[in-house]
Amino acid sequence: MKVLVVGANGQIGKQATEMLQEGNDHHVRAMVRKEDQLNEFKEKGIEAVLADLEGPVDQLAQAAEGCDAVIFAAGSGGKTGADKTLLIDLDGAVKMVEAAEKAGVERFLMVSALQAHNRENWNEKIRHYYVAKHYADKALEESSLNHTIVRPGGLLNEEGTGKVRVAEDLPERATIPREDVARVLVAALNEEKTFNRGFDLLSGEYSIEEALKSL
């Protein structure tokens, strides 16, 4: 499977890209928006393409051309305002869904946020972020794509444990290392139990393979 990682220079996206490159199961293409990022990936022997989520859908479709799957791990980041969240996490995600359909991609994995599907459990301090995630997820669900929506808890930069917990609803506030989120995304690519569904993701006591097969 040829996989386009959108947001490949981000913390989760970069780890997912490197995991795909190191494994033998898939071919990876990194999508970035800056020339220096492009060169950095190419120097590592990773195929890379330049495209901007604030650009036109046609440009994004060209970036996805020839790919079988998209992993959407892009985000505006915590230091930007609500306007960037709407442009990247919402409109950028929706445009990438449209671009994937246009390019003939079949599979689309979205990094969302814990309980984004459940308004009653949104974090009031970043409500705009949850609004963006909620409606981007809905656009993906309503598309023709075979989708998986991964909703991780609080993201940590520590080393992954390889042990997780997944379910349609995990309403408690808890955390997970970014490395484990990346591993779940890679593992979910071919896992049929994740097809056309979304799930919350936290650190837990089950191996990633075991957890995904339990869905």
- Cite the active site residues: 129
Looking at the DSSP bridge assignments, the partners of residue 148 are 109, 197
Residue 155 region by backbone torsions, left for phi larger than 0, else alpha for psi between -120 and 50, else beta = beta
CB atoms within 10 A of CB 48: 22
Residue with structure tokens 């490197």?
Answer: 18
Contact 101, 145 (CB under 8 A): yes
What is the spatial distance between Cα 199 and Cα 211, in angstroms, rounded to a whole number? 11
What is the spatial distance between Cα 189 and Cα 134, in angstroms, rounded to a whole number? 22
Contact 107, 181 (CB under 8 A): no
Contacts of 130 (CB under 8 A, 6+ apart): 113, 116, 119, 122, 123
